[in-house]
């Protein structure tokens, strides 16, 4: 038996068009490689799209590749991640299933004991039994796990896969210690493979002694921010083949990380240091990551001429240049440094810190706030009139509030 485990594709992520294109190209390569490897099926463990209502061109890319997988007789099984939902709970993934290009394996019902009873989807080619749980922002899926009927899941015989989109304590790295997570004991026991998503790390752990075999995070198909490009370098996914896991790296563009320490230098000296150290560096067609930190002897971060540095790199045909300067300090300026690695983490933390300060009628204040924020951040669709866009946002907000 052979299958691909893909997660956190985030089609449409990155605001810059050049980087946004790379997330689509990474998905294309993941599907192409899966077809080339002749896998029996493909798992997508959440966040196929970066927003609930992606652009038409992005949808066309996904549909085209899923049609190719179907033509190769490779079914696609998926769960919805925290980025896949609209405020009303609808997801573009519903359209994929309606078009018979993929199967959402999160299916079930509330039983007589008021528990959530998940059903299995059986892969016709291999007989593998697949089920899974959705992911939501701020670990809001936790209440579903708490209501989960484990009996039927754990008693089922045969090779079983559980898909999830949640951070698990036992696999979470130290640098993500502030990310909300849950212990592995929330998962049903006795499955042969746990296909994870949500945490953008490459990690696997066998906890067979506790009843959990092969808990796996494949990492994103393309890194979603500066920190991920720095730590991961590339995207990728896993291929499982008769018990063995093989990591498939996806490197659409090479990335180059350069770190500069500017302690005791003036802004002008820091500028010269950076340009000098980059002088003989091959930047052609690469994503360049510049991390600058230290305490300036005089001047502020804004006095460093990054415009000159970026122009120099682009003149030498760099594909894209990113800089991180949030750890530059001086007597005139001190950066506010957080330990969070994504905007989503910062948002969730701020929400939690301010809950309960205003009277309201909502049953779940945090979830309501997150849904409203997601609604108000939706972009105007291609060809959509401004008035239609405003009406759509208002209607979605009304659904949430009511």
What are the catalytic residues? 83
Nearest to 126 by CA among 163, 164, 79, 75: 75
Q: What region does 191 belong to: left with phi over 0, alpha with psi -120 to 50, or beta?
A: beta
CA 125, CA 105: separation in Å to the nearest integer?
A: 16
CA 195, CA 4: separation in Å to the nearest integer?
A: 10
- Kindly write down the DSSP assignment for every residue of 358-394, as one continuous string: S----S-HHHHHHHHHHHHTPPPPTT--HHHHHHHHH
Q: What region does 12 belong to: left with phi over 0, alpha with psi -120 to 50, or beta?
A: left
Are residues 147 and 134 in contact, defined by beta-carbon separation less than 8 angstroms?
Answer: no
Helix (H/G/I), strand (E/B), else coil: 136: coil
Q: DSSP H helical segments within 301-364, as ranges?
A: 306-315, 343-354
CA angle 390, 392, 398 (to 5 degrees): 100
Beta bridge partners of 208: none
């Amino acid at each position: 038996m052979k299958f691909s485990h893909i997660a956190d594709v985030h089609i449409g992520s990155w605001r810059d068009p050049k980087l946004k294109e790379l997330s689509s190209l990474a998905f294309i390569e993941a599907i192409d490689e899966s077809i080339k490897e002749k896998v029996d099926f493909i798992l997508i463990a959440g966040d196929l799209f970066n927003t609930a209502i992606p652009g038409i061109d992005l949808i066309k890319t996904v549909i085209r590749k899923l049609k190719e997988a179907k033509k190769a007789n490779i079914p696609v099984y998926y769960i919805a991640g925290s980025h896949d939902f609209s405020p009303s709970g609808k997801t573009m993934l519903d359209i994929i299933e309606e078009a018979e290009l993929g199967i959402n394996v999160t299916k079930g019902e509330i039983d007589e004991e008021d528990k959530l009873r998940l059903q299995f989807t059986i892969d016709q080619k291999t007989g593998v039994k697949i089920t899974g749980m959705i992911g939501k922002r701020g670990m809001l899926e936790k209440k579903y796990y708490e209501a989960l009927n484990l009996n039927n899941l754990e008693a089922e015989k045969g090779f079983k896969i559980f898909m999830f989109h949640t951070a698990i304590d036992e696999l979470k790295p130290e640098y993500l210690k502030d990310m909300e997570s849950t212990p592995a004991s929330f998962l049903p026991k006795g499955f042969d493979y746990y296909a994870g998503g949500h945490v953008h790390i490459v990690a696997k752990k066998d906890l067979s002694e506790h009843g959990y075999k092969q808990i796996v995070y494949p990492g994103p198909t393309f890194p979603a921010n500066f920190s991920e490009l720095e730590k991961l370098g590339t995207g990728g996914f896993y291929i499982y083949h008769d018990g063995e896991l093989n990591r498939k790296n996806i490197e659409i563009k090479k990335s180059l990380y350069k770190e500069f320490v500017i302690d005791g230098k003036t802004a002008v000296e820091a500028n010269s240091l950076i340009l000098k150290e980059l002088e003989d560096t091959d930047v052609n067609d690469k994503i360049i990551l510049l991390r600058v930190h230290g305490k300036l002897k005089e001047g502020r971060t804004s006095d460093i001429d990054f415009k000159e540095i970026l122009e120099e790199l682009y003149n030498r045909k760099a594909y894209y240049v990113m800089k991180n300067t949030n750890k530059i300090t001086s007597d005139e300026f001190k950066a506010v440094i957080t330990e969070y690695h994504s905007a989503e983490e910062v948002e969730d933390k701020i929400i939690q810190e301010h809950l309960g300060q205003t009277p309201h009628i909502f049953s779940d204040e945090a979830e309501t706030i997150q849904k409203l924020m997601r609604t108000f951040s939706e972009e105007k669709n291609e060809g959509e009139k401004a008035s239609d866009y405003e009406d759509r946002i208002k209607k979605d907000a009304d659904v949430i509030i009511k």
